[in-house]
Amino acid sequence: MRLKLIAGNLVIVLLVGLASYLVVRTQLRAELSRQLEDGIGDDSELFARSWRADGARLGEAVSSRAASKSVQNVFTASGEAKRRGRAFAAAQDVSKWFQDPARGRRDPPHIVAVIDETGRVIARDTDRNRMFGEPLLNEVPVLRTALERGASRYGVWHRQNKLLQVGVAAVRNDQGGVVGALLVGYDLSNGFAQQEARLIGDDLLFIMAERIYSTSTNVDVRNALQEALYAPPLDNDTKAALQGKPTLPWAATLAGEQYVGVTAPLPMARGVDAGYVVLAHRGRHTALAGVATMILWLTLLGLVGVAIYGFIISNNIMEPIEQMEDDILAVINGRSDVRLEVETAELGGLSYRVNQLINLFTGVAEEDDEGRAVTSSGGWEAVSASGPDPGSRPSSDGPIQSDDPQAAALAALPESQYYALLYQDYVAAKQSVGEDVSNVPQERFIERIRGNAAHLVNKHGAQMVRFKVETIGGQVNLKPVVIH
């Protein structure tokens, strides 16, 4: 029974805990996944704004350098050799200027070039002869705009497998006419991707028509995404994004992990197949669902608590029941002096009623705390030593005391004669009211009377207790006589 009580509670707690865990975790993950898919578009827009702001700052910085004396002096030099020398020196100076950490760039420019009014390179940094005379109007769309409008622009340049963010500014002479341009280009490197990824909180990749150019992810994820972007079903979305149409959020399994991504074109990259991917790790964004694991720990704690509490409660219930079972078995086996002594709030009442039942079958009155006795008929009789209850009949007095003549007479009888006479009187009284006494053998009757007498002696602190037979209202009772 103990195991049943404890096991039942444990099963209920376990089922409730597991069900709560599964429901909460499922709901949290579903909600977090929905928020991720809704929010990754915002992250893509955040990068696009950061890109435009960064490009605008680059354009302004190039414009300030284009107005410097070192750059303007290039176009006042006489002779090609002197002009190229000044252009190389100016490009070097501009490159050093941009390498200052105060400019907000960690890497040095990939290229700084001084360009004439026709769009041809006069000189670039690092190598005075490299790119000399190379036309860039068709390669760098923003260069044509800068020369035509005399303004600064920023954009993207795809050159020799390099993807560059470029800023271009027109160079004016003292009269305000456009005489050339200054171009500064930064590689869209892994470092730049990582810098922007920290800003948006997701991974960032720059892509070209046929491959991923740079990434903030690890190599395994990059290689897996390379295969995914340029193969069905994502290849069409990639082509559309490079042509200027951002995609809706898509999902992919990369290096054994679940990801959600958005592919979009790079702003201000007209004429260049360049785009970017914002990639979010689903597991990191749904990690909050892991708090549901606390339910499992609380369930485990609850199981321990229920087991301990169940053990204590089952013992409080089962031990008195087992004691009652042993006492009742003793009564069945002839121990008429045994009474149930369970005083717990839960079973005290039952124990009291069982004792009443035993007294009923043995024909022995039982006293309560107020000095009354319950007879075999279930009625109440006063047993107070101070005398009869007001209004009661003489035959209803309490236990007869030792100063009573009846008590003295009973006490004077030898024990064997007393029990024989009591049994005879009891049987005669039962027969007089028409009751069957065939099931009341003398030996068993005497044994029970002895047991009840011993119980009352201990209870009243008397020298002895004997009984007398009374018939009241057709009910035969054994009335105790307390002898001090």
pLDDT higher at 31 or 2 = 31
- DSSP annotation of 230 reads T
Distance CA 246, CA 48 (A): 11
Distances (CA, A) of 479 to 383, 436, 467: 9, 20, 5
Residue 363 is predicted with a pLDDT of 57
Rounded-to-5 percentages of helix, strand, coil across the chain: 50, 20, 30
> What is the side-by-side order of every strand in the sheet holding 111-116?
121-124, 111-116, 178-187, 162-172, 152-159
Contact of 217 with 225, CB cutoff 8 Å: yes
Could you give the 3-state DSSP secondary structure of residue 160? Answer: coil
User: In the Cβ-directed half-sphere of 304, how many Cα atoms lie within 13 Å?
Assistant: 5
**pLDDT of 97 strictly over 80:** yes
pLDDT band with cut points at 50, 70 and 90 for residue 156? very high
Q: Can you read off the two tokens belonging to residue 440?
A: 């009341």
Q: What is the pLDDT of residue 381?
A: 36
Tens digit of each residue's pLDDT (9 = 90 or more) over 246-271: 999 999 999 999 999 999 999 988 88
Is pLDDT above 50 for 315?
yes
Q: Minimum mean pLDDT among 115-119, 283-287, 321-325: which range? A: 283-287
The residue whose two tokens read 């606390």 is: 294
Instruction: Say how many Å lie between the first and final Cα of the chain, rounded.
Output: 47
Q: What is the mean pLDDT of residues 261-283?
A: 92
Looking at the DSSP bridge assignments, the partners of residue 466 are 481
Q: DSSP class of residue 395?
A: G
Q: What percent of the chain clears pLDDT 70, i.e. is strictly above it?
A: 89
pLDDT of residue 402: 52
Q: Tens digits of per-residue pLDDT, 344-378?
A: 777 778 887 888 787 766 655 555 444 444 444 33
Q: What is the mean pLDDT of residues 165-173?
A: 95
Per-residue pLDDT, averaged over 84-92, amounts to: 96
Mean pLDDT score, 326-347:
77
| Rounded mean pLDDT, 147-151 | 92
Q: What is the mean pLDDT of residues 164-168?
A: 95
Alpha-carbon span 379 to 396, nearest angstrom: 11
d(CA 185, CA 266) in angstroms, rounded, equals: 16
The candidate with the shortest Cα–Cα distance to 380, out of 473, 484, 481, is 473
- Residue 395: predicted pLDDT: 39
Q: Is the pLDDT of residue 388 over 50?
A: no
Domains of the chain and CATH, by start: 67-187 (3.30.450.20), 336-483 (no CATH)
Other Cβ atoms closer than 10 A to 127: 11
The reported pLDDT for the residue numbered 475 is 82
β-sheet bridge partners, residue 168: 153, 183
Query: Sorting pLDDT into bands at 50, 70 and 90, what band is 289?
Result: low
SS3 33: helix
Polymer length in residues for the chain = 484
Tell me the C-alpha distance between 331 and 358, whole Å.
Answer: 8
For residue 313 the two structure tokens come to 């409660």
pLDDT tens across 43-62, in order?
A: 999 999 999 999 999 999 99
Helical pair 348-362 and 293-332, crossing angle rounded to 10 deg:
10
| Tokens coding 216 | 């903030």
Q: Which of 314-323, 392-401, 463-472 bottoms out in mean pLDDT, i.e. has the lowest?
A: 392-401
Average pLDDT, the chain: 84
Within 8 A by CB and 6+ apart from 234, the residues are 228, 250, 252, 263
* Overall pTM surpassing 0.75 (yes/no): no
For the CA atoms of 389, 390, 391, 396, the dihedral, rounded to the nearest 10 degrees, stands at: 10
Instruction: Show Cβ contacts of residue 140 under 8 Å, excluding neighbours closer than 6 positions.
Output: 155, 157, 166, 168, 183
The torsion angles phi and psi of 297, rounded to 5 degrees, stand at -65, -40
% residues pLDDT > 90 (the chain): 43
E-assigned strand segments in 266-379: 275-281, 366-367, 372-374
Pick from 178-187, 361-370, 465-474: least confident: 361-370
pLDDT at 379 (0 to 100): 35
